[in-house]
Every structure is written in C-alpha cells, then in structure tokens.
Amino acid sequence: MRHSPLVQNLITAFTCLPGVGQRSAQRMAYSLLERNREGGLQLSEALEAAMQGVSQCQRCRNFAEDVLCPVCADDRRDQALVCVVASPADVLAIEHSGEYRGRYFVLMGHLSPIDGIGPRQIGLDLLEQQIQAGEISEIILATGTTVEGEATAHYILEMIAGTSITISRIAQGVPMGGDLEFVDGATLAHALRGRRPLER
Ligand SMILES: [Zn+2]
C-alpha cells in the first residue's frame, strides 16, 4: 500500500529531523493523525513561528529574536570578555554553571574543510572584525576537544596574533571528543575557573 500524497509529504518532512529515518517518521505522522491532531497543529504553528521569527544575534550569532540576544544586550555583563563555543547548547550549559559573566561567540559548527566548512561559514570573519575593532580584551576558547574543535581553536589563536588579547582555553574536566552540553554545571564552573592561558 502507498501512502496518500498528504501523508507521504508529512512523513518525508519528518525525515529532516536529526536521527529520524523513514520508520520513525511514519510512526510520528501516524501518531499525530490517529490521535493528536491538536498537538500536530500546535507543532506546525510553533515550527512556522520559530523558523520565521528566530534569527541570529548580530554580535554573537546565537539565536535571537531581536538584533541582539539577551546576553549581548545586557550591560551588566562584561562585553569585552568573549567565550567562543560551537553551539547554542554550549551557551546554555555554561549559563547553567552560573560562573560566567562575559558574553559568547557562537560558531554554529566547527572548521571542517573536508565538509566545505571554512572560517566564513562559522562566522570567524565577524569575530575578526570585533577583534580588529578592539571590542574584545579576553577570549576563552570552549570549542571542545574534538579534532575540529582543536583546529578551530588553533585558527582563532592565529587570528589574535599581534593583539594584546588574553586567550585561554577550557579543557579540564571536559571529556575528550566531548560536547559541552553533556558536561554538568559544577564541572564546567570548575573548568572555567581553571582555564589556562595559551602560549602564543
Ligand atoms: Zn548575542
């Protein structure tokens, strides 16, 4: 039996979610159609509103619904202290540690030339502009311990050559190849306090 066109469209649409193949997509579509039409409609409204209304902060690239995200718009935070992370989930993890009073720069990925992801794709041109404009006094690299994370950290280290920016790295307590979002708040707080200046 083939699905009718609308059902097939819905199943295909669900397969855009990470980790969702044909079978899971079919299960989701059937579940909504069989017994949760209201939930399905709410989902579609929330999806549309978020896809159209959420953009990126012009200073840090994190998700934002205004020109600046709440962290960049907050003058009580040290706007010259910048923690560079790979994803918005890392921002949340560090915020939960309660330890950090600076702002962020969110790459939304890592350098990965093999996958065609160069410096511009992860916003490093914007970070470089902020460095050149003298907006940053300290950078904390929290790009993770994967090969791509290391490569990204190295690239940023080269970018600040010739400036007086202090640069450090949090790695202590962060598992090899690990994502920050899976590290608990106490460990992250400890890692932030114990950040080590980098040789340059
Ligand atoms: Zn921001």
C-alpha span between 131 and 144 (Å, rounded): 21
CA of 95 relative to ligand 1 center, distance in Å:
13
- Ranges of CATH 3.40.1360.10 domains, the chain: 68-197
Assigned architecture for domain 68-197:
3-Layer(aba) Sandwich (3.40)
- Ranges of CATH 1.10.8.420 domains, the chain: 5-53
Which of the two residues, 143 and 183, has the higher pLDDT score? 143
- The string of pLDDT tens digits covering residues 45-100 is 999 999 999 999 999 999 999 999 999 999 999 999 999 999 999 999 999 988 89
Alpha-carbon Rg for the chain in angstroms = 20
Pair 105, 193: CB distance under 8 Å: no
Residue 177 clears pLDDT 60, i.e. is over it: no
pLDDT for the residue numbered 188: 76
CA of 20 relative to ligand 1 center, distance in Å:
31
CA of 148 relative to ligand 1 center, distance in Å:
23
CA of 37 relative to ligand 1 center, distance in Å:
36
pLDDT for the residue numbered 62: 97
CA of 174 relative to ligand 1 center, distance in Å:
24
pLDDT for the residue numbered 173: 57
4, 124, 139 from 1: Cα distances, Å: 9, 50, 58
pLDDT for the residue numbered 60: 98
CATH of region 5-53: 1.10.8.420
pLDDT for the residue numbered 174: 60
- The string of pLDDT tens digits covering residues 131-157 is 999 999 999 999 887 888 889 999 999
Over the chain, what HEC string results? Answer: CCCCHHHHHHHHHHCCCCCCCHHHHHHHHHHHHHHCHHHHHHHHHHHHHHHHHCEECCCCCCEECCCCCCCCCCCCCEEEEEEEECCHHHHHHHHHHCCCCEEEEECCCCCEHHHCECCHHHCHHHHHHHHHCCCCCEEEEECCCCHHHHHHHHHHHHHCCCCCCEEEECCCCCCCCCCHHHCCHHHHHHHHHCCEECCC
